[in-house]
Structure 1
Amino acid sequence: RKHPEQPLVSINTKNILFIVGGAFESIQTIIAKRLKKTVMGFGGSEDQVISADDKNLVRFVQPQDLLAFGLIPELVGRIPVVAHLEELTPEAMRAILLQPKNAIIKQYQKLFELEGVELVFEEAAIDAIIEKTSQANTGARALRATLETIMLDIMYDLPAQENVKTCTISAAVVLGEAHPVLKYRKSSA
């Protein structure tokens, strides 16, 4: 309910599948503390050093780690399976940018097509977008934000240009070091 005086609405969640996802920044520290407790003793050895900096620690996430992270027991108790996802590789980011039917780059190309302009991304530009996005460390959502930043001025300026045939985005454009290369149609005089 949005307002305290509104009546409560009961929802039967028996046949609803809840999928919870997110980036639990620094949960590795909690997992490392729990795992350090288990390697001590007869089964443990000194060469089993566990570091909270190890990004692979999320493989060992358990519900008690989510509780220690700060999630309430009522929520954690309703999550029957806890799993982790691997970080996106550059190849996966490239696939996200280019392969789906509604891929973000295809969306921009369609927008430019509506203006009669062919939008071209050089391979080096795509690599630069992936690198820039990887530095943000926020996953695939940052791909759109990176492209929005790159394309904002271009999309604003394009309608004022006449007879533009193609707009080519290079790595230098992605890095903010150059403007896109515009090729114009031959005007009939």
Structure 2
Amino acid sequence: MSKYDSHLKCSFCGKSQEQVRKLIAGPGVYICDECVDLCNEILDEELFDSGTAIAQPVPRREAPADRPKAAPAIALGQIPKPREIKHYLDDHVIGQDEAKKVLSVAVYNHYKRLSYLQGIEGEAPEDLVELQKSNILLIGPTGCGKTLLAQTLAR
């Protein structure tokens, strides 16, 4: 635990981390379990007052009907090779050869990893091989093609 963790407090009630059971972190804010409970009570009251009383917790929102529930199976033979991905990027992005090469390999490995994970559902953990995930940070001046590379890959 770092020295800053003891200074964390709920952004709503101001209680410190030591004064509550659980402190949930958000982007730049924190909320304690007591404030979450209070919010739930307020929402339940409002639903009850409006005539839409519910006996069960509010269900989570589901994905839109037009989106598939599960990702389609990826066959290893359908995944374009890194050389093919780089060639596609070469057709759409000028320069940045090193970045295109690194991104091509990372995208290929990502799809290979997804394909592997789809094929191992239900297998024993000791039989599994761990495939490492690679993170890439694109750094450069404005206008050098970072966003264009990402957008082109997304297509």
The TM-score by the shorter chain falls in which range? under 0.3
Q: State TM-score, norm by structure 2.
A: 0.24
TM-score normalized with structure 1 length: 0.21
